Chain A
Amino acid sequence: MSLRKTIRGADHGSRRTFLAGMAQSLLGVGAAATFGPSGLARALNGPVPTGSLFDELQDPQDPKPIVLGPATAKHVIYLFMSGGMSHIDTLDPKPGAATNGPNTPIDTRADGVLLGSYLPKLAQQMDKCCIVSSMSSTQGAHAQASYLMRTSYELRGTIEHPSTGAWVHRMAGRLNETLPGHVIIGGGADIPAAGFFPASYQPVPLGTAEDGLQNCELPRGVSEKRFNRRLEMLGKLDRQFAETHRQLSVGSYSQAYRDAVKLMRSSDLVAFDIDQEPDSLREAYGENRFGAGCLLARRLVEHGVRYVEVFSGGWDTHSDNFDRLADLTPAIDQGLSALLADLDARGLLQDTLVVLASEFGRTPDIDEDQGRNHYPKAFSTLLAGGGVRGGQRYGKTDKEGREVVSDPVSIPDFNATIAHACGLPTDHILYSPSGRPFRVGNKGMPVTEIFA
């Protein structure tokens, strides 16, 4: 089932679609087998008898959680500015240069680190942030560049690569067995997700944060007792088939049904409900899609979800760049600032890497339509928390923002840095079903200098 269908299922489907969607997408193969017992097996340095039916059905090269050190980041919140965020107007302003445009860069709480005038609230959080100004991509079209940014690999016809979120989910394992390991809020259906990884690593897509997770209550007229009877019957019907066809996908389905029911009945379900938050906090995050997405991301992380992505669209400012940024940036400025402050105050920022990224930057030259166009050669991202030392700018572009002049960071390097923050070995090889070797961050070198 494609991600598109899964989204449809999660948003509007019937109970049956919901459960089926679950089977493919969220709560796949024995979470217990990927986290608890085998994680412990590492501690024991030996096999642990778990008695799980699915142990023998496990993909042989598949997961034990693969974590090397005491990972600083247990969670990642990845904010993606889809369309190409203008680096000069936001994270890498160029005071005095013609390319800077009409706005005057502003001082921040970090000495010597300037921001574009659109981000006054973020300026007050810069002591927590590290801007990476020396990003450079090899792709200049949206689909190819977004794909590269999210997977570290180039878009090809023959294979679909897993996103960094899927890598983290698979290598680090789930933290909360009841909840999905990877959630995407407000993302399109065409983004790379689990790629060639088993279906159980598909992220859970949520259309909007306000709606949360749909289809979690029993259908009208079905009592708890009746529902249990139906489940029992389903189990009976399935048993013979499952016993005859002892395969990964069969096991994965039955496990997913059980997990879905477990989630429906779990108190952790409230993680998806931002209405539980006080109005004052919802205002602080901004009452718009992005702000609500950030708030939901915080709730999910708090309940143990590993990787949450929040999408923001509309950054492809080919014309009227400055007017459009004036419209786009307030929600980002507000939501990201609130997220950083809130995570910090709850003691979660230490364990959570927050990433602000885009597929590329925009041209330093401003065209006759007051627009900026695609510019992969030099752009910026932002990292905070998860052990990153705040208040710094890593790497530099020249005084007009055209070229990277020091400490270049490639897209693979950037994703390897995210993996590194999570304590994952970037040299660990996982194989695609056809036996080809792949690594998280595609052989990129983690930028270890930015960590405290």
Chain B
Amino acid sequence: MTMRATTTTAIPLLAALLAPLTAQRKVHFERQVLPILEKRCIECHRATYVDENGRRRRPKGRVMFDTRRNIEKSKRGKLFVAGDPDASLVIESITLPADDEDRMPPPKKGRPLSDREIQLIRSWIEQGADYGDWTGDGSPPPKKPAKSAGKSTRGGSPKAGRRRGPNPLVALAKGLRPAKPDRLAPFAREGSRFAVRSVGGQSPLLTVTCCGHTDEVDDRAVADLLAIKEHIYELDLARSNVGDDACAVIAQMPRLVKLDLRETAVGNAGVTQLGKLQELRTLNLFGTKVGDYAMQAIAGLKKLERLYVWQTDVSARAVTRLREKLPNLRIVFAPDLPEPMETGGNRR
């Protein structure tokens, strides 16, 4: 009995120990396999197109790697047979001897695939040939619902919200409809003081800047932004003529994540009104008139990650106190400038 218990527990344990040795880490198609296909296969194997000389180019051997649908269509789906590398035509053709005329890529197209590249493709097939969200043509992936954006895609085109972990944009824009065209139209007119752009991809969120029109932007001008206040994700009013009154307007932007007020006349009276901006992550107050009093309001911005207060009246003591309240906040208080050069130096 004791003996049996030991065996039954030992087997999974052993398997667990061996796992890292035998099984590969999961291969990510878009990040690891697609770059190889893009670099070595797609040039000849893609849907018919017209080249720079106006000639129609058809996919060689009717094999196409440019979209998921085309891969699955080519050779009756035998290019990659999920779970069975040896039945997969791609594995066969990339591992043929160098002098075989069916060997891919052909010698005139450069070096053969490296062992590592072959092993990656093989492992990916073994693990079930999972394409993840990739379709290659913008259509939604079949069956499996799309995972939220935020995956690194080395080699492929960086998608909206690529890299850096879960994308805050997705959650922030949830349930938000795109701003109505008539609300946006005034900002598209010639002479608009604000440039308004989508943050990218399909997101309804907007970035707004007055860069190039800083002279014309004052507290009254900022009120124009109320028309799109729900959609503003990033607001750049740096170096403009705004002051404390603009903050009353800014405070009405519930999805504001990044606010740049550097080198404006904004002071304590303005900043204390910003306590409502619960999504705010970056607040640039460099060269403004803020002082210690405003730091109390800032202590309530729980998501704040970066605060810039160089060249303001904020004291070292207030910074220390704020650091205690918000330990994850990076407060940039003074630059870390190098000592001036010693004598001479070169004049290059």
Contact = CB atoms under 8 A, between A and B. Distances in A.
Given A50-B188, A347-B260, 13 more contacts: A40-B188, A43-B178, A68-B158, A121-B338, A121-B339, A125-B336, A178-B212, A331-B345, A331-B346, A346-B286, A347-B286, A428-B157, A434-B52
A337 B164 CA distance: 26
Given A43-B179, A70-B169, A313 B348 contact: yes
19 contacts: A32-B190, A37-B189, A40-B187, A43-B179, A52-B190, A70-B200, A121-B338, A290-B348, A327-B346, A330-B341, A331-B341, A331-B345, A338-B337, A341-B338, A342-B335, A345-B334, A426-B158, A446-B154, A446-B155
Contacts of A283: 340-341
A387 B161 CA distance: 13
A176 B340 contact: no
Interface stretch (A145-153, A250-258, A366-374, A435-443): A435-443
A288 B158 contact: no
Given A70-B207, A334-B338, A448 B162 contact: yes
Given A345-B286, A437-B52, A448 B195 contact: no
Contacts of B282: 347, 350
A445 B35 contact: yes
Interface string B307-348: 010100000000000000000000010111111110001111
Contacts of B181: 44, 46
Most buried by A among B198, B214, B310, B337: B337
Given A69-B162, A341-B335, A288 B197 contact: no
Contact of A446 (B52, B158, B187, B286): B158
B254 to A, nearest CB: 18
A40 B341 contact: no
B190 A51 contact: yes
B348 A345 contact: no
B338 A284 contact: yes
B13 interface: no
A237 interface: no
Contact of B347 (A43, A289, A312): A289
Contacts of A341: 335-338
Contacts of B201: 68-69
Most buried by B among A125, A178, A347: A347
B138 to A, nearest CB: 12
A345 B196 contact: no
B206 interface: yes
B212 A177 contact: yes
Given A304-B211, A425-B157, A124 B185 contact: no
B180 to A, nearest CB: 9
A328 interface: yes
B59 interface: no
A172 B154 CA distance: 20
Contacts of A435: 52, 54
A333 B341 CA distance: 10
Contacts of B234: 70
A175 B213 CA distance: 11
Interface string B213-236: 011000000000000000001100
B296 interface: no
B184 interface: yes
Interface string B58-71: 00000000000000
Interface string A328-371: 10110110011001101111001000000000000000000000
A42 B188 CA distance: 11
A449 B154 contact: yes
Q: Which 4 A-B pairs have the closest CB atoms?
A: A345-B335, A176-B212, A347-B308, A347-B284
Contact of A346 (B54, B163, B308): B308
Given A69-B162, A347-B284, A448-B162, A342 B337 contact: yes
B157 A426 contact: yes
B246 to A, nearest CB: 18
Contacts of A51: 190
Nearest to A424: B158
B252 interface: no
Contacts of A41: 188
Contacts of A201: none
Interface of A: 32, 35-37, 39-46, 48-52, 65, 67-71, 121, 124-125, 175-179, 267-268, 281, 283-284, 286-290, 302-304, 312-314, 327-328, 330-331, 333-334, 337-338, 341-342, 344-347, 350, 387, 420, 423, 425-428, 431, 434-437, 443, 445-449, 451-452
Interface residues of B, number: 69
B306 interface: yes
Interface string B148-192: 000011111111111110000100000000110100110111101
B255 interface: no
Given A36-B195, A330-B341, A44 B184 contact: yes
Contacts of A446: 154-155, 158
A157 to B, nearest CB: 17
Most buried by B among A44, A328, A435: A44
A267 B190 contact: no
A45 B214 CA distance: 28
B84 interface: no
Interface in B232-283: 233-234, 238-239, 260, 262, 282
Nearest to A284: B337
Contacts of A65: 197
A69 B341 contact: no
Given A288-B347, A330-B341, A437-B52, A39 B286 contact: no
B159 to A, nearest CB: 7
A68 B308 contact: no
B39 interface: yes
A266 to B, nearest CB: 8
B88 interface: no
A333 B346 CA distance: 12
Given A40-B197, A346-B286, A434-B52, A69 B160 contact: yes
Given A304-B212, A337-B338, A345-B332, A68 B159 contact: yes
A40 B199 CA distance: 11
A397 B260 CA distance: 41
Contacts of B284: 346-347
B130 interface: no
A426 B162 CA distance: 13
A347 B155 contact: no
B38 interface: yes
B269 to A, nearest CB: 22
A258 B255 CA distance: 38
B345 A40 contact: no
A447 B214 CA distance: 36
B209 interface: yes
Contacts of A452: 164
